Amino acid sequence: MGTETERKFRVTGDGWRAHADKGRHIRQAYLAIDDERQVRVRIVDGASATLTIKTGGAALSRGEFEYDIPAGDAEALIACCIGQPIEKTRYRVPAGGGLTWEIDRFEDRRDGLVIAEIELDGETADFDRPDWLGEEITGDPAFYNASLARG
Amino acid sequence: MGTETERKFRVTGDGWRAHADKGRHIRQAYLAIDDERQVRVRIVDGASATLTIKTGGAALSRGEFEYDIPAGDAEALIACCIGQPIEKTRYRVPAGGGLTWEIDRFEDRRDGLVIAEIELDGETADFDRPDWLGEEITGDPAFYNASLARG
């Protein structure tokens, strides 16, 4: 059984767009951000909303709990969140070998920032590197969504 | 339209027990505690669980959002909460005039602490003061549940 690894890169240029789906708009913010626990409110396409709790930081006991909530509640909660909400559009781009790139194009204060993520079976798993792939930022706290919301 | 006011007192002696219901056991802890927002996980009688978000601190824009969650999730979340969970039994005691005392009898580290709360129509509303009513602690942060969990 492999260990799931996420690798994260900056994106340079628009080459990925030709193969992307139409994307989903994401508006999210945080009610809690610390090393041990994060509480995130997310609204997708202005309609469906979730409350997600991630626990355990980088520890083995990492957990994730997600609940659907009414979009109206989510809007009211986002107004009371830490820092500023993040606005982004998330696209999916086939990565070959059954893998998928998730590409987040940020708006508002982070306009222009584009980040690509891929989920792999373990840290050494191979994957194709398209020419729009920039610098690797896996594990760089500056690019955590929670950091972007706080900043 | 009255403004709802909660007043809170310490309880001295057991005089209230004669009129109390059988009580509900509450186990709760916090994923977030700050001036602007609290995220609370609560399990009642070991069975039903809720996630409650209170926003706005003492401000006018105070909000409360509550969601049912599976009790198993709640147990896992409580294990990752800030400080130590609070264990208490909450009893209801008729207060006369259609009002009700909610009496929290704390267990574990706070064993012996008993607090009574009453919800009134405004700050000047009258109510009967039973002889087991002790010192008023309305607005004393030391007796907030969040403070008791943190300590």
Question: In Å, how far are A41, A44, B62 from A72, measured between CA atoms?
Answer: 12, 12, 16
Q: Which of A32, A67, A80 minimises the CB distance to B69? A: A67
Over residues B13-36, the mean pLDDT reads 95
Q: Give the span between the Cα atoms of A24 and A30, in whole angstroms.
A: 19
Q: What are phi and psi of B9, to 5 degrees?
A: -140, 155
> Which ipTM did the prediction report?
0.84
CATH for A4-150? 2.40.320.10
Does residue B111 register a pLDDT over 80? yes
| Alpha-carbon dihedral sign for residues B49, B78, A147, A138 | negative
Nearest CA in chain B to A73: B65
Mutate to test the interface with B, among A30, A31, A66 (most CBs of B within 10 A): A31
Q: Which segments of A10-137 does DSSP mark as H helices, in order?
A: 71-78
CA distance B98 to chain A (A): 32
CA distance B103 to chain A (A): 30
Vertex B67 angle, CA B63 and B70, to 5°: 155
Mutate to test the interface with B, among A65, A67, A75 (most CBs of B within 10 A): A65
* Per-domain residue ranges of chain B: 4-150
CB-defined contacts A:B, below 8 A: 56
- Among residues A120, A115, A108, which one has the least CA distance to residue A151? A108
pLDDT in tens, chain A (151 residues): 446 788 999 999 999 999 999 999 999 999 999 888 999 999 999 999 999 999 876 555 578 999 999 999 999 999 999 999 999 999 999 998 899 999 999 998 888 899 999 999 877 788 999 999 999 999 898 998 888 888 7
Query: By the 8 A CB rule, do B121 and B110 touch?
Result: no
In B, which residues are within 8 Å of A76 by CB distance? 55, 63, 65
- A38-60 pLDDT, tens digit per residue, is 999 999 999 999 999 998 765 55
Q: Give the span between the Cα atoms of B81 and B143, in whole angstroms.
A: 19
Contact B63 A80 (CB under 8 A): yes
Over residues B43-59, the mean pLDDT reads 88
Q: What are phi and psi of B148, to 5 degrees?
A: -65, -35
Question: In Å, how far are B101, B112, B143 from B115, measured between CA atoms?
Answer: 10, 10, 9
Amino acid at position A36, single letter:
E
Residues 6+ apart with CB under 8 A from B44: B24, B25, B26, B50
Q: Which of B32, B65, B73 minimises the CB distance to A32? A: B32
